[in-house]
A and B are shown apart, each in its own frame.
Chain A
Amino acid sequence: MSAAATGLPEGWGMVIGLEVHCELATETKLFCCCPNSFGDQPNANTCPTCLGLPGSLPVLNERAVELAMRVGRALACDVRRSVFARKNYFYPDQPKVYQVSQYDLPTNEHGHLDLPSGLRVGITRAHIEEDTGKLTHVGGGGRIHDASHSLVDYNRAGVPLVEIVSEADMRSSDQAREYVAELRSILLATGVSDAKMEEGSMRVDANVSVHREGEPWGTRCEIKNLNSLRSLGRAIDHEALRQIDLLDAGDTVRQETRHWDEASGRTGTLRVKEDADDYRYFPEPDLVPLEPSAEDIRRIDAALPVLPAARRAALAGAAGAPTIGAVAIAVERDLDTLALEAITAGADPARVLTHVEHNLAVEGAQRVSAAHLAALVQMETRGELTATQAKATLAEVVATGDDPAAIAKAKGYEAMGADALETLVDGVIAAHPGEWEQFRTGDDKAKGKLTGFFMGKVMQASKGQADGKAATALLRAKASA
């Protein structure tokens, strides 16, 4: 990875590992029958178990386990015998004052995620745990230490999570963003989570460290709770530069947990490693180990949808090589099947992907039939529609579901024949002899500049009916004649 791609000063590199917490889309919580839902009255969704009342016991939600295993298989993990463990710490966000998680025996281990750019990021583990309650600190700086009092909402306590831990395989904030975006698309495609970063159903912690090229990696810092791709990218870049500044000044980087302040665009210390808790993990005696059978895993695999990477590969295979960005967008918008079918029906791949990328980023785009899209692109290829007309026609197809040929006819779009176009172009040239002379004798730069001028005139004269591409070709042919 070159220094340029990281945005770091020459000679420096960064390494990033991510921990993503994702709420599972179950009806009920991980260990009780309370609804798993966001935005209700505080403490409405609670019971003795998720309030941790004395004598209450957890009963594992089988659906949550299934979804967690689905995440694991979608990330190519080994799904194995796992044991829940208690993570003990004193803080009021956990009503039991321990969190039930998994420790040395997680459900999913040793997977990977292939990104659209081709980078493969290792997945260390994806384990099941319960979410904590939500604290609101009143008065002071919004932290428990200086608050006058704190309010606690246990609706979120006991909501099932998977925590997906990556290997430190990313070398730039762009790669980290790409990883999170790809992970999110998998969580959505598999129906495991709604993965809404802004609502906190998907939260990212980033571990960042830097080095001078050729030297070992430095001490890492963890940035907690990044809740948008933008914050993730900014926080990582800021943190890497902060560490480089420290090292440049001869200081050392302390291992610590930091938070990202979106407003100031800076990270700040949450706690340093020295006072990190000893969580005293031990196996949760109130639950029995999970022992998925080979049959369970087969069933999970059989129910997995085709994943984004495979969908991208299929579309890219049909569309040809230089379309990676457009292909990724098509899959992201769930329009890859439409594109693939239109291409299979004989439509020009590049034009299909252009429409998907630029003209179908709209509500209802998924209702467009492949036959209609193929027909539209073919009309365009045959010169019966200009690019502008095709765009307008497609908008009508989305809105009405009508046949594109009928729409084009109703709008009065018709092909401007080659002869008519040539007559029109000749007329424009004749009317602007000075510009034509500059165009004809000018270099590429001048030609490029004047193309815009002539095309404007051609479109004006044709009232938008001319095919811009054909007209440009005609101009260039006449200039070199």
Chain B
Amino acid sequence: MTHHRWFTPWLLVAPAAVWLFAFSVWPSINTLVLAFTNARPLGGEHFTGLANFGRALNDDQLADALVNSIVYMLVCLPLLTLLPLLIAILVEKKLPGIMFFRTAFYTPVVASAVVVALIWGWLLDDRGLVNGFAQWLGVIAAPVPFLTDRWLLLFSAISLTVWKGLGYYMIIYLSALGNVRRELHEAAAVDGAGPVRRFWSVTVPGVRNTMLLISVLVSVSALRVFSELYVLSNGTGGPGGRDMSLVMLIQLYSRGFTGHLGYASALSLVLLAVTIGPMLLLLRLNRKAA
């Protein structure tokens, strides 16, 4: 039995439904179509079969980007799964002023990736604070080329991502920690378990599902990295363009009048292919939790 006119629900969902089709469903279909064309910003668009994918197979920059993505993911995964948990434990206690610390730790999340990358770019500059300080201490003789070396640039971007992500995952852990039973901790303490032991035997099992969720989120967002690498390398993708990420390549080919939208769409499908694994895992976890 309904208690409203038949069109009322449709009126209410109409805007969202329009957005769903215009900006989610249709672009998904269109990406699939464009990937098999030579579409350009100006002028014609012809079906070219698998040409874009053939080109992708021989694209050295794409190979570099895939290597970068995997390195990015493998380094971010352990760091961003564990460190935010430790920080969440630090700020879990109901101390006076703890809200200040929570807010402060969340600050890098609120700031734009561009802002954060510009700040780090200055810190890691040849004549920036980090190099200056290390030279003053005498740890290094010449500045470390954080931003101009192929691998150092990648690792600088990774540390920036980790630094910016700490607060975000800390918050998710924080709401999970609330569900870990206090009695378990107390019982373990009575049995003589130290803090380290209690962390591994009580806290970690208690937040296991959240940990899985976070490791999926971290993996997917590592594969999607863009702003950090773009800003730190000033849009160049580092020495020889070898520090491109997948999304940087997509942006590179979709921009401006000389863009190659067909190839950019094919690269988008490559991105989808690498993120789909963790994403499906996430869906399964969600279903279990529900």
- Is B truly associated with A? no
Binding site for A on B (CB under 8 A): none
